[in-house]
Amino acid sequence: MNEKKVVGRNVIVALGTICVILAVGLIGTIMSYTSMMGEKDNTVASLISQIQILQDNVTNLQNQMTHMQILLKNLNDIINLNETDTAKISWFNAWTTPDETKLNITATIVNYNNIPAEKVSLIIKVLFYNNTIERSTNYTIDIERLDTGDWYSLQKTIDVPEGEGWHFSVDFTLYVDGVEIDHQSFGCY
């Protein structure tokens, strides 16, 4: 029976040793998995942070793109304006003759742009007025085309209404292809 006790004791010691080894292995495995879970949580948090930074970068780039599109639209508007802004009234004047019976009007239109101006019209509105009366007259000068660097000079003489004390103003409005391009005024008050 002693042998049985020794064998039983050896079995118990062996089983105890195995249990201790298994317990230590289990604890080591749990600690290893806990450490890996902590690293995984840190990795996930880092990746979430990187995603947020990238999303912020995408938002900033989208905002920059929106601003650039607005800038491009504004620049295109300026280019389109310049394309229609082909001619200008470069010089204008109006004066009465010494006896104040005639009004001399002169204007020069020049195409400064690098494209021809089509269907050019100059509307001249002359207003005579004194203390009690106003009289208005309109004149339209049509020019089919002004090529780059071309100019058109107008000289017109009209009658001043009879009587004394007349003042005048002259408005020059330039249209290219039906769009108002320039407006100038001259007056003697």
In single-letter form, the type of residue at position 102 comes to: K
- Residue 52, number of CB atoms within 10 A of its CB: 10
Give the whole-angstrom CA distance, residue 180 versus residue 174. Answer: 6
Q: Tokens in use for 96?
A: 């009465």
Give the model's pLDDT for residue 3: 61
Give the model's pLDDT for residue 41: 85
Give the model's pLDDT for residue 75: 72
Give the model's pLDDT for residue 132: 86
**What pTM value is reported for the model?**
0.54
* Domain boundaries defined on the chain: 1-84, 87-188
Give the model's pLDDT for residue 80: 58
**Block means of pLDDT (10 residues each) for the chain, length 189 residues?**
65 86 89 85 90 88 82 68 69 87 91 87 93 90 89 91 87 91 83
Q: Are 39 and 31 in contact (CB under 8 A)?
A: no
CATH 3.40.50.2000 fits 87-188, yes or no: no
